[in-house]
């Protein structure tokens, strides 16, 4: 008599999924606020808009992933920080318009679900949500044997935030002469890892456990440094100063992300000597070798977030950022842009 088939025999373990839900319930509960309705494990999550805080609320959303940085985490078996990256890549996007994150959803897809490993990943997501001040409202886990290679997984995240319509920051007041302030990144963040892995590792995964002379820790530790979350810093700044525009520096670097914050007719002139380049990026450029232009288009160059403020406010804003223990620099100024000129020039 032929052996009966089951979902588990095909590679999908429903019981493992149920165990994971039980493991992550306390993680999600720790991020909840009074606006979260219901509990984790239902078909959907519900969130009530804070009463009285917004006269004309606009909901703002974003979706993003972590990319091939996951390969580093998988190789080293260190899964508790990529969830922070996932949250950071999303919340840093929506704060550029002045929004504050409300809740977050995650999606984890894997070849075979290991509840303990998955819980480590979600632990990082929950930590990121706490850092960003938003609730982990729910998510989805997909076990897909035959689709992903053994041991592989992918992460995606989705955030919803809110901003009052009258307080949207859209760059419309930016003018030539305004100052460009850059807040330091914590490293590569979550961009450019395909190039970084090719240059630094090739096929030698053991290189992750070695310490290059130019770094203070192993290559793996450096590459897994979580993406910085700027939510609390930006929230304080926009309460105290007139912030004209903001940009999250992700794929495309300063060259392609700063222009997204500028109105037509404006460009930016940035001075690369005004802030330090992280040693990990110098290592990639030297070991590649990688052209300077390619580095600037692929990586954040050491600046993870940009603010544009009036020239008179620049030093005050800079001092306030530094009092919040962030490294920040005046990295350039807004200029008039003529037709055909590059939107951003880095000298």
pLDDT tens string 121-146: 999 999 999 999 999 999 999 989 88
- Residue spans of the domains in the chain: they are 14-167, 179-346
Phi, psi of 321 (to 5 degrees): -60, -45
Q: Say whether 179-346 and 14-167 share the same fold.
A: no
Using H for helix, E for strand and C for coil, what is the string for 181-195? EEEECCCCCCCCHHH
As a whole number, the mean pLDDT across the chain is 92
Does the structure show a pLDDT above 70 at 11? no
DSSP helix/strand/coil, 210: coil
Does the structure show a pLDDT above 60 at 167? yes
Q: Give the pLDDT confidence of 88-118 residue by residue, as tens digits.
A: 999 999 999 999 999 999 999 999 989 999 9
Output DSSP code: residue 272: G
Q: What is the pLDDT of residue 27?
A: 86
C-alpha span between 14 and 1 (Å, rounded): 26
Q: What is the pLDDT of residue 25?
A: 85
Of 44-58, 65-79, 134-148, the poorest mean pLDDT is in: 44-58
Q: Give the pLDDT confidence of 296-307 residue by residue, as tens digits.
A: 999 999 999 999
Q: What is the CATH number of domain 179-346?
A: 3.90.650.10
DSSP helix/strand/coil, 110: strand
- For 167-173, what is the mean pLDDT? 95
Q: What is the pLDDT of residue 2?
A: 63
Which structure tokens are listed for 101?
A: 């994150």
- Read off the pLDDT band of 10 (50, 70, 90): low
Q: What is the pLDDT of residue 8?
A: 63
Does the structure show a pLDDT above 90 at 262? yes
Does the structure show a pLDDT above 70 at 200? yes
Q: What is the pLDDT of residue 38?
A: 78
**Structure pTM?**
0.93
Q: What is the pLDDT of residue 12?
A: 64
Q: What is the CATH number of domain 14-167?
A: 3.30.1330.10
Q: What is the pLDDT of residue 226?
A: 97
């Amino acid at each position: 008599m032929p052996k009966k088939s089951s979902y588990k025999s095909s590679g999908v373990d429903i019981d493992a999924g149920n165990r994971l839900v039980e493991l992550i319930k306390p993680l999600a509960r720790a991020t909840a606020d009074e606006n979260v309705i219901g509990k984790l494990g239902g078909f959907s999550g519900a969130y009530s808009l804070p009463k009285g805080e917004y006269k004309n609320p606009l909901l703002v959303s974003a979706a993003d992933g972590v990319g091939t940085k996951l390969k580093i985490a998988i190789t080293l078996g260190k899964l508790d920080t990529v969830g922070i990256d996932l949250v950071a890549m999303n919340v840093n996007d929506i704060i550029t318009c002045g929004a504050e994150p409300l809740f977050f959803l995650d999606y984890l897809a894997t070849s075979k679900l290991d509840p303990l490993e998955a819980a480590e990943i979600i632990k990082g997501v929950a930590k990121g949500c706490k850092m960003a001040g938003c609730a982990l409202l729910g998510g989805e886990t997909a076990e897909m044997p035959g689709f992903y290679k053994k041991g592989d997984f992918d992460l995606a995240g989705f955030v919803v935030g809110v901003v009052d319509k009258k307080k949207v920051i859209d760059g419309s007041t930016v003018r030539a002469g305004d100052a460009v302030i850059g807040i330091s990144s914590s490293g590569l963040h979550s961009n450019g890892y395909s190039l970084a892995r090719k240059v630094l590792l090739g096929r030698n995964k053991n290189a992750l456990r070695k310490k290059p002379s130019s770094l203070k820790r192993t290559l793996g530790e450096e590459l897994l440094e979580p993406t910085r979350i700027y939510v609390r810093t930006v929230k304080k700044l926009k309460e105290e100063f007139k912030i004209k525009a903001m940009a999250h520096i992700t794929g495309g670097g300063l060259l392609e992300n700063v222009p997204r914050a500028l109105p037509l007719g404006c460009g930016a002139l940035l001075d690369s000597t005004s802030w330090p380049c992280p040693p990990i990026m110098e290592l990639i450029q030297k070991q590649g070798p990688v052209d300077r232009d390619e580095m600037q288009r692929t990586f954040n160059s050491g600046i993870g977030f940009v603010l544009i403020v009036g020239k008179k406010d620049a030093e005050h804003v800079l001092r306030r950022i530094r009092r919040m223990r962030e490294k920040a620099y005046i990295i350039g100024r807004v200029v008039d842009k003529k037709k055909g000129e590059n939107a951003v020039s880095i000298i």
